[in-house]
Structure 1
């Protein structure tokens, strides 16, 4: 008999062959119906998989949403693959994982690649499979039998993958249905008990794209079908609404409509900023300079191109080389952390980050313990050779500018400095209307430094967040094993935007590795040399990405202080032209970014056009306003208008256009 311990501490003795489904049924019919999977000693497993010994057992229901969604999305992927093979005989299957909001599956079609015109028919075939309530049965196969089966069915991709899996790995197959006509896929699982557990109205296929087998462009091109899957139709509808809203807010679309920036092939991965877009940049830059000046930072500027030996010494050459732009293009084939060159060639690289350059500034002259902390800040332009397919508008580019800073401090100053940074980041994010969560990214498998270094650095970051009162469920506090940088653990700030999406932006990292590798030191109170700790930190992350996030968060309706044009004075009749020009002159004199619209167009046309351009305030003037010295103010997103004296309008607009950190 096996001893099964349940979450409430109770123990049940069961015979070998008993499944979690049997235990759910023994507890009660309600749980038997609700249970969809089980956690066995913490591992998520099929509800019908027999238990294999004395274990801790927790039954999973749809209320355990994270587990339930992962299972459902994995099942939707399998149903998708079965549906495609039923509709398009000869199609080979490859991989089909769950994703953050759905699933995808990669196929090798026998004929033409799939297109989005194929999706409605595939969806209908999926619903039929769900309606058939096919049992999903886990089977363990021998490697030889499984490879033979795949080859016999013409599944060359599956056969290749089965042959390369580790020898000690158990090969499992899931059979959908019964008998000779059952559909098979190689998969670790787990799965729901049957296809009928899925809601046929809670999924939608969204798009088709190309994908290389195993992600290697040297391999065959496959057809990837994406879908989104949920537990019920209400969740699906909410997600589709969110996607629709996200499409309206797409920063690339709004950037074009608002004439902010453009991207083109001549500088792929870099941004052409137009005057209006660069005005947003300038306002952010001025805001951040005021913030860092008040916080005791010293602004610096460092070179774009540095000797590759510097990057070798820092460790970036071995760990990050594939993402760096090197001059000249052809570089020696070096092993990780191996010798850079064996001749007298001078290799240079565009900097992908600013930290080594800031250490070189720190090393100029002797530093005393009394000089610390030293906070160096740079609006640092960096270049990273991101893959072509990963580039995405402003969100992922090859040339970007970081609001980057490095704090050189003593061991006893670390927690205070991190806590001060938490307060600074909190104020800045709230100025932009964001809420956020904080995560602690812990040591990765591949890293520099000793275990003691990592233990200490992780403890310091954790302690600072606890002292700041942010390590709470309210701030989404979470620790992320393996997600740290190769040289340091880091705190991450994840912003939540207006439609509930999260964006990882700010970070602070506690680093003892780079100061050691680049031989940074200060003279301690004992007269001996000591290594400083280097805190890498950013709040915007990069100006490009933060502006993209802001555009989408506000749907282009930026706060007046950030808007490229804060007010437009638009005339109803030409008799008001001189008054409009004078009003713009007064507005500009008050520091308000204003323009006039004197075109011979109807006022409704002007209102619509400036609304599309997301101008916060439209000051409409006609003959009457010119005579009375007033303006009719129409604010974006506000019904109606109000007529007030021009002087009063100027004072109000000046207050609206003042950055939050400069308001009284």
Structure 2
């Protein structure tokens, strides 16, 4: 039986059913192919084509799909190496997928465990498997055969039970066989450049009710240079890790015993948070927002009306008092609605913009908690705009401008995504169409390129998401703008229109920092802890060379304090070099060194945290420079220029 295969150039060829992409490649004389894309699906070179192929495209190591092939294969090479080292009978296999920039595999080791110290040994065995260049074969077998094949692998048996139909696929390389959908490389020797990165614990299938497995992470690249560059990137990211820098810079601590997922902010961290909030408050006040505060705990009936009870209860915290049940708020929206409903609102009063630094609590599994990035208690820079349908576009434009101003202040670039109506949506499609058009029009008027995610909006309305890029090129989803048709209807949130009748208001949810704690963590890593002077916890440290210079140094400290700067006197009985080094470790923007010469001349010797020295600077001149730098919230240190 013949099948038709269409190529990217539009040409159509006929082949015998069951031909493989590898046979086609050889016939056509195409070199360096590692896989294919068949009708949009990643396809092994050895996997037969059983029906007409509307489009086939071959994949080389330079194509964007290539990492999916070689990183998936590398996870199997990892599993094969572990079984060789620890013994087939001692290793129970979990899963081994590709992830962004790498791969992992989960293991249950019966007699022994894998530690970071074992990674070089495993790498050596992986290199042997790569050198053996074992052919990788894809096989389809019945579930009965698969159960027999994996009879000693309980996790694989669980997965087999959940596969629909009676046929499963397995991949074999040498003595190693794994349950897998693929795709894979033709053999184990195609890609050689890899590195195992870390070991961690991971519950089977992400549930705390299941056994804890050992997860080994790795990365792989087609080119040695790309691997080396990525490892340098990881090294730099590790230096910037906010979980390390936060305690080192005395910004925050985490107490996993008594408050897991709920960070404690130390005095220096509180300064940074307050500066972030003050900056945001100024901008919101200028744009007509009204700041409010809503209760942390409210009656469960509120959350039943809002829908959180049905859809979000497992992520909420509850308490009972006086035979009443209350919920700790996971979101601020219902509270803002209650404030709105406490007033009689005319169309002339709209838009109403309520703004709150609202503390919320959401239950997250302990396994996913991550420093400030994933917490159970956090503060949202939350705002809700209540407006008429005609005002949507203008209000979105205002939010887009505010997002740009705030992100520009920290040197962030960003990209934008627009998510549209999902299949499971609330409200009339005509309203959705009108709202989505308003979002598109606002983005286009703001000259913001955007990607459309069809059908990925929230069930209550379309949304715009912002992905900021930090100094290492990593992306973080922070700001969001969401239109909501559901909650105003549920709470009967209305305004009196020009016709003197009640109309349902449009509700715009938006946050720009998102989680203040998470944004703080991003900033720590973005600046590597070296904050711009305006948010630096300590802006100036005054260091007397010896005890006899301490009194003069205290007078200078007083002058800085009078001018409103955060200043610290370091007159410890340590060497000058040690104190300068400590100031650099603490990332303090400016150091003022006071000795005989400075006291005699009345001039200052100033050092920046990067080591640049400025001598014979008058106190008045330095204060003026600092005042301008802080007032303008400059990103760079003025005296570095």
- Shorter-chain TM band: over 0.9
Pairing 1:42-441 to 2, within 5 Å after superposition: 42-51=40-49, 52-65=51-64, 67-89=65-87, 90=89, 91-151=91-151, 154-167=152-165, 170-177=167-174, 182-199=175-192, 202-264=193-255, 265-328=257-320, 345-441=323-419
Q: Secondary structure at the match of 1:33?
A: coil
Q: Corresponding residue for 1:33?
A: 31
Mapped to 1, the partners of 2:324 and 2:279 lie a distance apart of: 40
- Give the Å deviation of 1:582: 1.8
Going from structure 1 to structure 2, the CA distance change for 1:411 and 1:429 (only over 3 Å counts) comes to: same
Confirm or deny: 8 A CA contact 1:576 1:622 kept in the other structure: yes
Alignment TM-score, normalising by the size of structure 2:
0.94
Q: Corresponding residue for 2:639?
A: none
Q: Corresponding residue for 1:493?
A: 466
* Residue deviations 1:451-479 (CA, integer Å, cap 9, x gap): 555444444333322222112xxxxx333
Q: List 4+ stretches of structure 1 deviating above 6 A.
A: none
Confirm or deny: 8 A CA contact 2:105 2:217 kept in the other structure: yes
Q: Corresponding residue for 1:464?
A: 442
- Give the Å deviation of 1:285: 1.0
Confirm or deny: 8 A CA contact 1:72 1:192 kept in the other structure: yes
Mapped to 2, the partners of 1:636 and 1:647 lie a distance apart of: 21
Confirm or deny: 8 A CA contact 1:461 1:510 kept in the other structure: no
Going from structure 1 to structure 2, the CA distance change for 1:45 and 1:452 (only over 3 Å counts) comes to: farther
* Residue deviations 1:411-431 (CA, integer Å, cap 9, x gap): 111122112211111111011
Alignment TM-score, normalising by the size of structure 1:
0.91
- Give the Å deviation of 1:2: 2.9
- Give the Å deviation of 1:47: 2.1
Q: Corresponding residue for 2:13?
A: 12
The answer to whether 1:517 aligns with 2:490 is yes
Pairing 1:610-629 to 2, within 5 Å after superposition: 610-629=583-602
Unaligned runs of 5+ in 1: 330-343, 472-476
Going from structure 1 to structure 2, the CA distance change for 1:255 and 1:214 (only over 3 Å counts) comes to: closer
- Give the Å deviation of 1:70: 1.5
Mapped to 2, the partners of 1:131 and 1:380 lie a distance apart of: 57
- Give the Å deviation of 1:314: 0.7
217-226 vs 441-450, which moves further: 441-450
Mapped to 1, the partners of 2:451 and 2:47 lie a distance apart of: 31
The answer to whether 1:577 aligns with 2:550 is yes
Q: Corresponding residue for 2:24?
A: 23
- Give the Å deviation of 1:149: 2.0
Q: Which has a greater percent of strand?
A: 2
Going from structure 1 to structure 2, the CA distance change for 1:170 and 1:659 (only over 3 Å counts) comes to: farther
Going from structure 1 to structure 2, the CA distance change for 1:87 and 1:442 (only over 3 Å counts) comes to: farther
Mapped to 2, the partners of 1:283 and 1:411 lie a distance apart of: 35
Q: Secondary structure at the match of 1:36?
A: strand
- Give the Å deviation of 1:405: 0.2
459-468 vs 226-235, which moves further: 459-468
- Give the Å deviation of 1:117: 2.6
- Give the Å deviation of 1:441: 3.5
Confirm or deny: 8 A CA contact 1:592 1:657 kept in the other structure: no
Mapped to 1, the partners of 2:521 and 2:422 lie a distance apart of: 29
Aligned-residue CA RMSD in angstroms?
A: 2.2
- Give the Å deviation of 1:592: 1.6
The answer to whether 1:630 aligns with 2:603 is yes
Mapped to 1, the partners of 2:207 and 2:423 lie a distance apart of: 23
Mapped to 2, the partners of 1:659 and 1:78 lie a distance apart of: 54
Going from structure 1 to structure 2, the CA distance change for 1:14 and 1:161 (only over 3 Å counts) comes to: same
- Give the Å deviation of 1:552: 1.0
Confirm or deny: 8 A CA contact 1:573 1:623 kept in the other structure: no
Mapped to 1, the partners of 2:635 and 2:241 lie a distance apart of: 30
Mapped to 2, the partners of 1:24 and 1:453 lie a distance apart of: 51
Confirm or deny: 8 A CA contact 1:134 1:196 kept in the other structure: yes
Aligned residue pairs: how many? Answer: 631
Q: Secondary structure at the match of 1:657?
A: helix
Mapped to 2, the partners of 1:285 and 1:64 lie a distance apart of: 44
Q: Corresponding residue for 1:553?
A: 526
Q: Secondary structure at the match of 1:4?
A: strand
Q: Match for 1:594 among 552, 564, 567?
A: 567
- Give the Å deviation of 1:359: 0.9
Q: Secondary structure at the match of 2:31?
A: helix
Confirm or deny: 8 A CA contact 1:520 1:532 kept in the other structure: yes
Mapped to 2, the partners of 1:138 and 1:525 lie a distance apart of: 69
Q: Secondary structure at the match of 2:72?
A: helix
Mapped to 1, the partners of 2:493 and 2:579 lie a distance apart of: 60
* Residue deviations 1:478-522 (CA, integer Å, cap 9, x gap): 334565434333211111111111111111111111111111111
Going from structure 1 to structure 2, the CA distance change for 1:479 and 1:161 (only over 3 Å counts) comes to: same
* Residue deviations 1:608-656 (CA, integer Å, cap 9, x gap): 1111111100011111111111101101114333321111111111112
Confirm or deny: 8 A CA contact 2:419 2:452 kept in the other structure: yes
Confirm or deny: 8 A CA contact 2:382 2:511 kept in the other structure: yes
Mapped to 2, the partners of 1:445 and 1:162 lie a distance apart of: 30
- Give the Å deviation of 1:553: 0.7
* Residue deviations 1:49-101 (CA, integer Å, cap 9, x gap): 22221421122222222x11111111111111111112222112121111112
Q: Corresponding residue for 2:500?
A: 527
* Residue deviations 1:266-308 (CA, integer Å, cap 9, x gap): 2222222221111111111110000111111111111111111
Mapped to 2, the partners of 1:242 and 1:227 lie a distance apart of: 14
* Residue deviations 1:507-558 (CA, integer Å, cap 9, x gap): 1111111111111111222222211111111111122111111111111110
Mapped to 2, the partners of 1:95 and 1:451 lie a distance apart of: 41
Mapped to 1, the partners of 2:551 and 2:213 lie a distance apart of: 64
Going from structure 1 to structure 2, the CA distance change for 1:444 and 1:189 (only over 3 Å counts) comes to: farther
